[in-house]
Each structure stands twice: as structure tokens, then as C-alpha cells.
Amino acid sequence: MNNPQIAQIFNEIADMLELLNENPFRIRSYRKAAMTLEALPHEIRDLDESKWGEIPGIGKDLSAKIKEFNLTGKVRAYQELHEKIPPELLDMVQIPGLGPKTVKKLWDELGITTMAELEKAGHEHKIQKLKGLGEKIEEKILKGIELKRKYKERHGLGKTIPLAQEILSSLQQKAPISKIDLAGSLRRMKETAADIDILASSKDSKKVMEVFVKLPIVQEVLAYGETKSSILTKQGIQCDLRVVEEKSYGSAFHYFTGSKAHNIRIRQLAQEKGLKVNEYGVFREEEFLGGKTEQEVFEAVGLPYIPPELREDRGEIEAGLSGSLPDLIELSDIKGDCHIHTLWSDGSQSLEVMAEAARKRYQYAALSDHSRLVGITGGMDAETLLKQIKVIRNLAKQYSDFTLLCGIEVDIKSDGTLDMPDSALKELDLAVASVHVKFNMTEEEMTARIIKAMENPYVTIIGHPTGRLIGYREPYPVNMGKVLDAAKRTGTFMELNSFWDRLDLNDVHLRMAKEKGVKIVIDTDSHHTSHFEMLKYGVSTARRGWIEALDVVNTLPSKEFLKAIQKKRARIA
């Protein structure tokens, strides 16, 4: 078992209890336990079993259920609830615009128990006639169904990467493997993946496959052979494993990393040189010329090594031939984080705990809790913000090796003004301005809204600039070209939010920003110390956008960074 598996079970139990109109206290306890498990910095299975019940939000009852799942792979209470609920209702709960309460209302009043019935009711305008719903909710539900359908077969990095790493680790421990690597779109760090591709080399491929198809995470064996096997994991994600000879490992690694378009270009270059490149190696007619490493493949066609994140046929071949490939940013280049939440708004840990965790990773960090506009964040008004500033300034005095900054994530209101007066904002070191409400504006209106916020001298960064949530909410309409032009004009930085379900700006917009000379800030949007690990997703997305360290403001050392974030105030004020 792992933490995400148990958290999912507890969240689904909470959903089912809500659908059955059960005790709200029980519902909250399961949701709190799920949040606790998702945020734990280590696997609960690695702790002494007697300590499980001492974890805040777990307790003895839920600890017993975790033990039951660990021993049997099942939770009896979960199965009993499932028998009382039509099977598709839990899927409906995950549709944007819906939740357990609305699904229950649709079930009770319209008898809707399937996705098809829900879509039919929406098109027939039956949903909008229910009290408390209306036309806009109905439209949102129909859009949510389309979005869920679009992402049905694809999974975000936050789900696929941890699972892939678990499989790699298990195979390294249990199987006779000389080499093993992640391939496919996950190696290229695309924001979503249809499946997990793993490549390995071994002198006993039969034994490797025996281990693979018997891993604890296997729900179903889809294909079983001596060199290739496929499984469906208990998380519903397919994983394919290929075992190749060591002499062909580099060629296979390149081939199965892709993308398809990139591979076609490599084969074309090879043909121009009278060569053939495939997953087995580099050949001149039948003569094997190389392929043990990827470097041999690239050298054969006259190219330098091209990082996996660039292999999309978006100009990397031409850049390689002309010697102009970017020197891509590395995780170690990041010196600070400007977007961190604490218990002062919707974070799950104290200001002191988040600051100390940031100190262990960075040279500097800004605590940037929410302003008040979105009620569910428990954000701050001006008076509270000024109190927090005093607390942060006092805490900062304790550090000699770390710079703790005062920040805020301030809401951009629909007219482009900010949810905090300038008199309070000017006391901060920086401000991240974000759109969190009223997404249903026209492109022209949304673009003007964001640009107006940029023109405020106290706005340092535009947070998650398109507002998307991968697999849950599409980006709001915005003319990114105009926004980036305004960012350049005003000296505002654009955020790459590293949280795996945001990755906003995306790779295409990042490359556009680079070309326009707009600086990026790569932040984590951490609400718990474990969320700092999200940074790797942000850096990988930056690499896909051809971003170099010099394009990113928070690769600067502390003193240079402080100078950079102060420039805008002097420029516009």
C-alpha cells in the first residue's frame, strides 16, 4: 500500500457517506485523514504500526482500517458502502461543477445514476429546473463531462511519476536487471501520460517478466512475454515493460522515449547519410554501427545529445544542427520560492514550520498567504496582513543563512483591481496576483483584467496565469501574447506554478515568454512542507519550454533577487 491509495479510499468513503446523507462529522474525519495522508512526507507503511493512530487526523479507528488494507488489500467498510451506491455515482462526483451534494440531489430528484443519464438530462435542460441549480450550473456540468471524457485516458504527473518510481524501485530490488529507465512521454515530462513505459536490460528477461507481472500493484496482466509485458495497475494506469539487449539499449531508449515526430526526423537524417536507425541500433545496410548509448544514436546522424524534454520536433533538430540548443535549467539552479501558504490562510502547517522547511531547500523564500476574496481560503484582510508581516519580520531575524520574505497571493478582482489596498501591499517584499473567481469573462475582458493588475506597482508576479487545473478545469480565455507584452512593459514576472495539476504557464507559453524576454518565476504553491517536492515538475515543464537558468528570476542569489523584485516599484511608482 502507499499513501495515495489509502487517501483515495478515505476520500471515496467520505463521498459515499455524503451521498447517503450520513453524519457530517464522520465525513469530515475521513476527508481530514485523506488530506493528512496526501501531505505526509513519508509512507505510513514505513512507520511503526503502533504509531499510526498518533498521526493527527488518523486516530485508532482509521488506523485499524489502514491496517486492514495493508493486510488484505481491502477495507470492509468501503466495500459495504459501495453496495449501497450505484457504481457510476462516484465517477460523477469527480466531474467539474458537481460534488456529492449535487450528485445526491440529481439522484434523488431526477433518478440519475449514470453518466449517460446525466448528459441526457443536461441536454434536455432538466438540471437547470432543479431548485438551487440553474442554467449556469447545467452548462458547467456539461462542460465538465466533456473535460472528463477528454482526460479519461490520460493521467497527470503527480499520479504517474510516483507510481512509475515505485515500479522501478521494486524491479531493481527484485529482478536481475543491469539497467532500467523510465521512457515514453513521462521521460519527456509531458504534463499528462496515457501509460507508463519502462525499458530494462537483463541477461534473464524471463525472470524479469515473472517479477513484473506479480508486483503487488498489479490488478490485471494485459500481455505477458519474454521481452515485453503489460499490466494494468490498481490505480487504473497501464504500464508496459520492455527488456532489450545491452548493445541496443541506447537505441531502444531513444526510440521508446519518442516523440514519434522527433523519431521520424532522426530517421530522415539517418537516411540522408545512408544509415538506418531503429530500436535495435544504428545500421549501414546489415552492419551494426552502434546503439549502446543514446549518444551513439545522435552522433551517427550528426547531432549533439538532445535532452528528452525537447524531443517534440519543435525546432530541436534544427537547433542541434546549428549548435544553438539551449542550456536548460536544472533543479539545482532554483534558489528560492515566492509562493508558499501557511495556517494564516489555507495552508496546513504553521508559518514557522513552512519557513524552516524552506530554509533547508533554498537561500530565500516568501510566505504568500491568500487575501480574503475567496472565502474558502480563509484569507487575510489588510489588518491581518500587517500583523502577519510583523510576525514574519521577527522570525526572519533568527536566520543568518536564509532570507525570509513577506509576500501575499492577492486576488485580482473582475475589474483588475486588487483585493488588498496599496497601503498594505507596499509593506510587503513581493506580491503574487492571481485570478481565482469569475472565469467566465470574454478573452478581451480577462486579458484587460490581468494587464490592469500588472500595472499596479506592487504586483511582482502573476500567479498561475491561465487558471487551469489539468483534467478538472480548462484555462480561462486570455490573449497570452498581449499579457506577455504587458509583462515585459511593466516589468512583471510570470509564474510557472509547479503543482502537478497546474503547471501554469505551460511549455508553449513559456517558450513564448522566453522569446519576448519576459522573466519567469518557478514556484511550488506549497500548502504543506511535502509540496516543495513539486518543484521538480515545474523545472521539467520549464525545460520543455526551452527555459534556461538566465530566464528565471529565482535562480538569482539572494541579493540579486531582492534587487530584481524591487525594480518594478521604482520603474512604475
- The CATH number of whichever domain residue 14 belongs to comes to 1.10.150.110
pTM: 0.82
Asked if residue 160 and residue 144 are part of one domain, the reply reads no
Which residue has cell 511503526? 48
- 474: which DSSP letter? P
Asked if residue 563 and residue 475 are part of one domain, the reply reads yes
Interior/surface letters 30-53, b for 16+ CB within 10 angstroms, e for the rest: bbbbbbbbbbbeeebeeeeeeebe
Cβ-Cβ contacts under 8 Å for 155 (sequence gap 6 or more): 192, 193, 194, 237
Contact 432, 493 (CB under 8 A): no
Beta bridge partners of 242: 199, 228
Q: Residue 462 has what pLDDT?
A: 98
Prior bond of 259 cis (ω within 30°): yes
| DSSP code per residue over 337-366 | EEEE--TTTT-SS-HHHHHHHHHTT-SEEE
Q: Residue 573 has what pLDDT?
A: 53
Asked if residue 400 and residue 297 are part of one domain, the reply reads no
- 555: which DSSP letter? G
Nearest residue to 297 (alpha-carbon basis) of 238, 247, 339, 346: 247
CA 573 to chain centre: 36
Q: Residue 151 has what pLDDT?
A: 63
Contact 195, 239 (CB under 8 A): yes
Low-confidence ranges of the chain (pLDDT < 70): 1, 39-42, 51, 54, 56, 96-97, 150-152, 571-573
- The CATH number of whichever domain residue 496 belongs to comes to 3.20.20.140
Residue 475 grid coordinates: 484555462
Asked if residue 292 and residue 275 are part of one domain, the reply reads yes
Q: What span, in angstroms and rounded, lies between the C-alpha atoms of 149 and 182? A: 27
- The CATH number of whichever domain residue 268 belongs to comes to 3.30.210.10
Nearest residue to 252 (alpha-carbon basis) of 212, 311, 294: 294
CA 182 to chain centre: 18
Asked if residue 115 and residue 21 are part of one domain, the reply reads yes
Q: Is 157 exposed, middle or buried (0-12, 13-18, 19+ CB in 10 A)?
A: buried
Contact 92, 113 (CB under 8 A): no
Q: Residue 35 has what pLDDT?
A: 76
- 39: which DSSP letter? H
Asked if residue 110 and residue 187 are part of one domain, the reply reads no
Asked if residue 339 and residue 472 are part of one domain, the reply reads yes
Nearest residue to 30 (alpha-carbon basis) of 88, 100, 86: 100
Q: Residue 39 has what pLDDT?
A: 65
Last residue of a domain, one of 322, 354, 383: 322
Q: What span, in angstroms and rounded, lies between the C-alpha atoms of 27 and 228? A: 44
Cβ-Cβ contacts under 8 Å for 173 (sequence gap 6 or more): none
Q: Residue 222 has what pLDDT?
A: 92
Asked if residue 194 and residue 86 are part of one domain, the reply reads no
Contact 541, 520 (CB under 8 A): no
Asked if residue 193 and residue 134 are part of one domain, the reply reads no
Beta bridge partners of 333: none
Residue 284 grid coordinates: 549501414
Beta bridge partners of 415: none
Q: What span, in angstroms and rounded, lies between the C-alpha atoms of 307 and 379? A: 41
Last residue of a domain, one of 228, 244, 260: 244
- 153: which DSSP letter? T
Cβ-Cβ contacts under 8 Å for 131 (sequence gap 6 or more): none
Q: Residue 419 has what pLDDT?
A: 95
Nearest-5° Cα angle at 533, 529 to 536: 155
Q: Residue 224 has what pLDDT?
A: 94
Alpha helix stretches (DSSP H) within 180-230: 184-187, 205-213
What's the N-to-C CA distance of the chain in angstroms? 55
Last residue of a domain, one of 189, 222, 244: 244
Q: Residue 24 has what pLDDT?
A: 84
Asked if residue 109 and residue 19 are part of one domain, the reply reads yes
Q: What span, in angstroms and rounded, lies between the C-alpha atoms of 341 and 551? A: 25
Domain that holds residue 231: 155-244
Asked if residue 311 and residue 339 are part of one domain, the reply reads no
**Helix 480-490 to helix 558-572 angle, to the nearest 10 degrees?**
100
How crowded is the C-beta side of 3, counted as CA atoms within 13 Å?
20
Q: Residue 316 has what pLDDT?
A: 97
The domain tally of the chain equals 4
Q: Residue 115 has what pLDDT?
A: 84
Q: What span, in angstroms and rounded, lies between the C-alpha atoms of 372 and 480? A: 27
Asked if residue 103 and residue 42 are part of one domain, the reply reads yes
Q: Residue 1 has what pLDDT?
A: 60
The DSSP H or E segment spanning 263 is helix 260-272
Nearest residue to 449 (alpha-carbon basis) of 461, 464, 460, 438: 438
